Structure 1
Amino acid sequence: MFFKQLFDKKLAQYSYLIGCQASGDAIIVDPMRDIDQYYELAESEGLSITAATDTHIHADYVSGLREFAERGIKVYASDEGGRDWKYEWLLESDYNYELITDGDSFSIGNISFDVVHTPGHTPESVSFLLTDGAAADEPMGILTGDFVFVGDVGRPDLLETAAGQEGAMQPAAKELYQSVVQFKSLPEYLQVWPAHGSGSACGKALGSVPESTVGYELRFSPAFNAATTEREFVDFVLDGQPEPPLYFGRMKKVNKEGPAVLGTLPNPKRMSVDEIVNTEALIVDTREAADYMDGHLAGSLLAVFNGSFNTIAGSYADAEEDLYLVIDEDNLEEAIRDLVRVGLDNIKGYVTPQMLNDWEGPLTSIDVIDFDTTEEYRKDGNSVVLDVRKATEFAEGHLPDAINIAHTRLADKLDQLPRDKQLLVHCAAGGRASYASGLLDKEGFDVQWVDDDYENWEQKYAKNKSKAAVQK
């Protein structure tokens, strides 16, 4: 058996190429949308991809399952979860597909996949017990999708917090508890292969180690340690979950109803700055935050080309709009892959940072301040502090009278912000606040970017106020 775990660092996502070396057949589990990468790997290993499957309807990226189906590859999809959670694009289609439920099994060459329904993170979630029939008659591991991670379990709140199904999280958490109870009966030696690692917003405390075992998780995962009673587990698993990025709800809908067929990657053309300015379309500027603040095209968004690029672009950009990039050509292909993975397909053109530097037209700037200046601004009554950290961070300490909206939810909550006040935007160290400042500037707000460490404010101002309170 050939087994390869592939990791996308930006989305903290694992997909798997599993092949029978005797027959030459291979399957991709939880594929991303740009499936050329899997074909290249399979070919290099002398394997032919004959099947693909998803463990569940994903919320954090566009699945590659339909891309495989378009190429005639057989796809396996969960038929669990009730009528509201079906792969609608598959049903009654001409694709080569098989719907699977708890207790089913299928084979790729000598390798068998036993289906286990593991709801909670999503209603239709399934896991796969993997047996190498050429060497054993019992499974060696379990592909858990977003059910069990290393050190955590999948969050059960997304149908409510991301997809807008009011009242869904408590029942989902109880379903997840039952799945956890079922998981406890598995042999402890089984390897655990999850769909996400550290950095994913599909859980709250995912580990960086790429795989685990059932026994290790039962002993050391906080989530399993909390699963002594249903009530204790539900309280634990729902407490402290981070705000899901805004695009999660859109991804859930896209993967359920059917992603547009990509075929090949978009091929944006190099343009002049004048051309993209005159399009009146969305411009995403991937330069460093300081360069953007110093001067950018009016109405452009900031999404620095780093590990947060697709999360920021996915949360801030409208998927229906044509999109133009300010980007170094060396980063262009990777950026295109990042964007289509979160459903931003309409990438029409780009300019380079040097072209922007040489352009003689008008640029817009945003003032950059520190927490000392923030304290001065707050005295005039014309400024409001916007804290774009997570709610859990905000609860641990914040500036007096600050508004808290997590930066990846901001685009949907602009109506909660005053337009007659100057917004002083901060986070923990400046990065998240820079993206939020770019969005707010695009939307016509008067913005100041606080490029400073929150610890500096705590050490200087919060400490002084505590001393003054004691003296009184």
Structure 2
Amino acid sequence: MTELALLFRQITDPGLSQYTYLVGCERTGEALLIDPERDIDRYDRIAAEEGMRIAVVAETHIHADFLTGVREYAERPDVRVVLSKAGPPDWQYAWIGAGHAAYTLVGDGDHFTVGSIDVEVRHTPGHTPEHIVFVVTDRGSGADIPMGVASGDFLFVGDVGRPDLLESAAGAVGSMRPAAEQLQVSLGVVSTWPDFMQVWPGHGAGSACGKALGAVPWSTIGYERRFNGALTLAAESRTGFVEAILSGQPEPPPYFARMKQLNRDGVPLLGTLPRPRELSVAETVADPSLLVLDTRADRVAFMDAHLPGSLHAPATRQFTTATGAFVEPSASIVLVALEDQLDDLARQLVRIGLDRIEGWIPVDAFDAWHAHGGATSSIVRIGFPEAVPPGTDSVWVDVRGAEEFAADHVPGAIQIAQSRLAVEYGRIPRTHPVTVHCATGGRAALASAYLQRLGFDVRYVDDDFSRWRTSN
């Protein structure tokens, strides 16, 4: 019986619903790392635990939702970097050649090896023009057909990559329709792959890089051919596919444009993870240059009392959503947090380029400050039945997505997706109290804190939108 010579690990970032892949050759101890995030020490640790050395680091495309770790690995002379050469001049890697690593630029049909693992490169433009995927064959076990494909943001479980981000996030006007047409053509390659071939996607459910991603972490080509509606439509109708794939995509947060630019031009080197120092509440409140991110998960507790100017950034899967939408990279950040959450929170921040983590305040210290009468702010919390209807005495802001708003909304409400609020809040009048709602209260909580920080008089609707219909 032939033994597999390949080691495979899927490494998950729950906050961004992102997957990195470690594919190792058991015979040589060399490993390929695909699509790493910026805090690379965790990949090194996992590789070491498996008895592997990361020898090659590769990337499927220039990412929009996180900062790549490839630039960190490029500082190592014992690592080879593999990147796409397939994009147009505007979307080539400008930083290539920096650092000490050897690098290889690859295009459609190229191959490279890691130990006894063969990797075929296929150019799959559409999500981005330079996008490539990696088809992996375990030659060490005698295989001459591929085991799986690291599909990046080309093919997901239940969906395909969105082709609009260069235009909607990075400002490349007029690019989304040609990109959608390109994606439809690229998806034709799937028909050439065997049904049993595994699909190792770049993201799962919750990512903004698609609109209907499945929660299952991997799939097979055969399963996707049968049950992936976008893939089926691409095979049936170019026009139908283009119209469908460009409609209903979630609004991208403004930080996506910055990620694109930095990943193309060169991510600042991180080195070690920031270690924030413990601060007192008093010194934090006295320094107006600091931005407080209150990571308590209880939004009711936040609305009842928080440090003035704080943003609600719960230490849940919402954390990256909140910080990416509302925090500028120049901000000097202080976290109200539990000590055992600090490492994970720091990682989530640096993955989107928020490196200036100046300090942290223990939740217990904030509670004591509040209990002893220290200065705090609060936000009025109401349900739909108590809310004043839009009109002369109230402005309503609906922070759901455009598709949700189109399906049903409060007449007279202003629709601004929570992810776009930082660039569109100027549409909101300051003449009256602002009532903020979403579908179930989560996004509205983030938005309410942000608008209060900007000086708006906010009423937060902590309620299910279905109750608006029953109460009106």
Q: Where on the TM-score scale, by shorter chain, does this alignment land: which range?
A: over 0.9
The answer for the alignment partner of 2:178 in structure 1 is 171
The answer for the alignment partner of 1:326 in structure 2 is 336
- Match for residue 264 of structure 2 among 253, 256, 281: 256
Measure the CA separation in 1 of the matches of 2:442 and 2:204: 22
- Match for residue 284 of structure 1 among 276, 288, 293: 293
The answer for the alignment partner of 2:309 in structure 1 is 299
User: Is 1:21 the equivalent of 2:26?
Assistant: yes
TM-score (norm 1): 0.95
- Match for residue 199 of structure 2 among 182, 192, 195: 192
Q: Secondary structure at the match of 1:263?
A: coil
Measure the CA separation in 2 of the matches of 1:256 and 1:367: 43
User: Is 1:225 the equivalent of 2:232?
Assistant: yes
Q: Which amino acid aligns with 1:301?
A: L
TM-score (norm 2): 0.95
Q: Which amino acid aligns with 2:89?
A: R
- Match for residue 55 of structure 1 among 37, 60, 77: 60
User: Is 1:204 the equivalent of 2:215?
Assistant: no
Q: Which amino acid aligns with 1:425?
A: V
- Match for residue 150 of structure 1 among 144, 148, 157: 157
- Match for residue 46 of structure 1 among 51, 76, 82: 51
- Match for residue 3 of structure 1 among 8, 17, 20: 8
Shift of 1:71: 2.7
The answer for the alignment partner of 1:78 in structure 2 is 84
1:103-138, Cα deviation, whole Å (9 max, x unpaired)? 111110000111100000001100011111112122
Shift of 1:91: 4.3
The answer for the alignment partner of 2:131 in structure 1 is 125
Structure 1 segments unaligned to the other structure (5+ residues): 462-472
Shift of 1:357: 2.1
Q: Which amino acid aligns with 1:336?
A: A
Match runs of 1:51-450 below 5 Å: 51-72=56-77, 73-91=79-97, 94-135=100-141, 136-227=143-234, 228-280=236-288, 281-287=290-296, 288-359=298-369, 360-374=373-387, 377-378=388-389, 381-450=392-461
Measure the CA separation in 1 of the matches of 2:391 and 2:130: 54
Q: Secondary structure at the match of 1:17?
A: strand
Measure the CA separation in 2 of the matches of 1:382 and 1:250: 38
Task: Name the CA shift for 1:43/1:274 in 2 (closer, same or farther; >3 Å).
Answer: same
Q: Which amino acid aligns with 1:183?
A: V
Measure the CA separation in 1 of the matches of 2:431 and 2:465: 25
User: Percentage identity across aligned positions?
Assistant: 48
Measure the CA separation in 2 of the matches of 1:278 and 1:252: 36
1:178-205, Cα deviation, whole Å (9 max, x unpaired)? 1012222222222111111111111111
CA contact under 8 A between 2:157 and 2:219: conserved in structure 1? yes
Q: Secondary structure at the match of 1:181?
A: helix
Shift of 1:436: 0.2
Measure the CA separation in 2 of the matches of 1:151 and 1:306: 25
Q: Secondary structure at the match of 1:166?
A: coil
Structure 2 segments unaligned to the other structure (5+ residues): 1-5
Q: Which amino acid aligns with 2:350?
A: V
